Amino acid sequence: MTPWLFLLSSPEQPGGEPLPELLARAGHPVTVVVTDDFVVDAVVGGRAAELTGCGIEVLYDDAALRRRGLRDRVGAAARRSHDDVAALLLDERTKVVWR
């Protein structure tokens, strides 16, 4: 199945099941990179636990975590630099959605 990469930068709007969860439940490998304002929802609001509960790999933009004072709440293995995220974006097998 096709791997998917989602870069989520803003809080989700209510209504319906989000695409990352739908794809993961259909058996696609899904990775979500949490950046910008969405890091607060993911870390403090518990959204990351919901995503990982569906089998989605959740990674965090390290700079966004640092700017919001949340870096110490996410393990080092899940933090990614901008260079790391760029490498994920360049994988030609992966479909990318940036929201």
Query: pLDDT tens for residues 57-89?
Result: 999 999 999 999 999 999 999 999 999 999 999
pLDDT at 10: 85
Is 45's pLDDT higher than 90?
Answer: no
pLDDT classification of 6: cutoffs 50, 70, 90: very high
CA pair distance 53, 55, nearest whole angstrom: 5
**In the sheet where 95-98 sits, what is the strand order?**
79-80, 57-61, 30-34, 4-8, 95-98
Chain segment 18-27, per-residue pLDDT in tens: 899 999 999 9
Q: What is the pTM of this model?
A: 0.90
